[in-house]
Chain A
Amino acid sequence: MAEQANLREMANLIANIKKEAEKLKALGSGINCIEKNVIRMSAILKMMELDVSDAADILGV
């Protein structure tokens, strides 16, 4: 299916966004509105890792 074909690309994108979020957290260290909102972003990214990235790894795509 078409979704399967995009699985690896989605997993890569999730990994990149995660890295960017971590960079943002480091840049905004000590700034509460950044630190706390990045925690929320990271939680959502984690869900996409569980939903998509883990599947991509196991399916070997």
Chain B
Amino acid sequence: MVQSTDIYWNPFLETMPVEKLRELQLMKFKKILKWGYERSRLYRSLYDSVGLKPEDIKTWDDIKKVPMLEKENYREAQRKEPWPYGDALCVPLEDVTEYHQTSGTTGQPVYVPDTWQDWEWQAENWAYFLWAMNFRNTDRVFLPFGYNNFIAYWAGHYACEKIGAEVVSGAMLSTEERILKMKDLKVTAFMATPTYVLGMADACKNKLGMDPKELGITKILCAGEPGASVPTTKKRMEEAWGCPVYDHCGATEFGSWGYECTFKPGGMHINEGMFLVELLDLETGEPIEEPNKLGKIVITAFDRMAMPSIRCDTKDVSMWSPDPCECGRTFRVLKGGIHGRIDHITKVKGVLFSPVAVEEVVRSMPQLGDEFELVVDKVGDIDRITLKYELAPGYEGKEKEVETELARMLRLKTNLNYVYESHPYGSLPRYQVKAKRFKDLRKEH
């Protein structure tokens, strides 16, 4: 399945024989482990606490002996000097050139430093997937986001420059102004969260009276939420804009490590030249090698030096794909991309419940708008899930029929019953970055 080398950003790594790739990963893992141990009080104390020295890691099987790092470890380390990175920092503070921070969805934001070399590395990783998604120097790419401290599209901006594409910032503009700017400049591609891709299409149709397809967008890159790997959400976006939508994944602390290619293998390739991605059994914590089994994603970024990520517990879950991709990349594929977060996969009425399954159903029904919200609480001792939804324009007054259909489909998909709340179109919150559609109020009491 070897394709023309022009479809790869780096044919040497992307098509490297698997056994050589594993050799490279082990070599790079040992190197970053030594770096972290020697340079960071955070890693040294973590490894000393279990009596582990970098030289103890000799084989692939030894990797699981290395303790995992959680976001809380970073937060704890960052309460110390030098401000604001504390014990997590591995380079002199004066070498840091970039500051970003995590969104704070799960608590105090983690402050993330990068040296110029790290920043070049971020852009390099993005270049792998921009190339795989057919972004080229003939593209004019629009970035409709507020920049601020959110890392993803900053890195996307620099990566576009790296591959030679023209970048247009969409900061400080309203959604309507952004759409008009895109039309005026005849941009060919843009990047946004799935929520905002749908929100822009909605604004285009309902506020500006334009069909989004008129803009002539040829591709869209999504980040920040799993939506672009949820088939029904992807379909909604692709139908609205009339072009392919590609997913990628990453995090502020680890960098961007996964991407979909134009062959759309039903999941995301892992950039295994730059990252080690492990899938661990949700109950036993043992590594999963077989396909189709859901596991927790643990990540090591091999080459980010200022604040390394070594065996970081992402709290995201996914599974290996059984099939190689026809693109010829030997990088493994995570089937279905990110399936959700461990802390969102919870037991409701004794049944394992994932909000992504509800998204899949909601987005498959044309009678429903793009937005919804899920609230889990308790009535006495009984769990209750409320699904707040909006009817799409033209379906006003059809609540009863829609709820009957929703109940049937959700029962099949999730094996649970829901309470339904219809809200007027446009009244549920709209998000530009990360949507917060799931609330488990049982955890708040």
Contacts and interface: CB of A to CB of B under 8 A. Distances in A.
A50 B12 contact: no
B13 A47 contact: no
Given A1-B5, A54-B24, A46 B120 contact: yes
A58 B27 contact: yes
B395 interface: no
Across the A-B interface, the 9 shortest Cβ-Cβ residue pairs: A55-B12, A43-B120, A43-B117, A58-B24, A47-B124, A51-B10, A43-B116, A58-B20, A46-B117
B116 A50 contact: no
Contacts of A42: 117
Nearest to A50: B303
Contacts of B5: 1, 3
A interface: dominant SS: helix
Nearest to A10: B12
A58 B27 CA distance: 9
Contacts of A43: 115-117, 119-120
Interface string B97-135: 000000000000000000111011100100000000000
Given A55-B16, A58-B16, A59-B16, A50 B11 contact: no
Interface string A34-47: 00000110111011
B273 interface: yes
22 contacts: A1-B2, A1-B5, A1-B11, A3-B5, A3-B11, A4-B12, A40-B116, A43-B119, A46-B120, A47-B121, A51-B10, A51-B13, A51-B124, A52-B12, A54-B28, A54-B273, A55-B10, A56-B12, A58-B24, A58-B27, A59-B12, A59-B20
A1 B120 CA distance: 28
Contacts of B12: 3-4, 7, 51-52, 55-56, 59
Contacts of B27: 58
Interface in B258-292: 273-274
Interface in A4-61: 4, 7, 39-40, 42-44, 46-47, 50-52, 54-56, 58-59
Given A7-B12, A52-B12, A55-B13, A47 B120 contact: yes
B interface: dominant SS: helix
Interface residues of A, number: 19
Interface of A: 1, 3-4, 7, 39-40, 42-44, 46-47, 50-52, 54-56, 58-59
B81 interface: no
Interface string B138-172: 00000000000000000000000000000000000
A58 B11 contact: no
A39 B116 contact: yes
Nearest to B13: A55
Nearest to A46: B117
A35 B119 CA distance: 18
A51 B20 CA distance: 14
A27 B303 CA distance: 28
Nearest to B117: A43
Given A50-B303, A54-B28, A58-B24, 7 more contacts: A1-B11, A3-B5, A46-B117, A50-B121, A50-B273, A51-B10, A55-B13
Contacts of A47: 120-121, 124
Contacts of A58: 16, 20, 23-24, 27
A56 B13 CA distance: 10
A10 to B, nearest CB: 9
A34 B260 CA distance: 40
A44 B11 contact: no
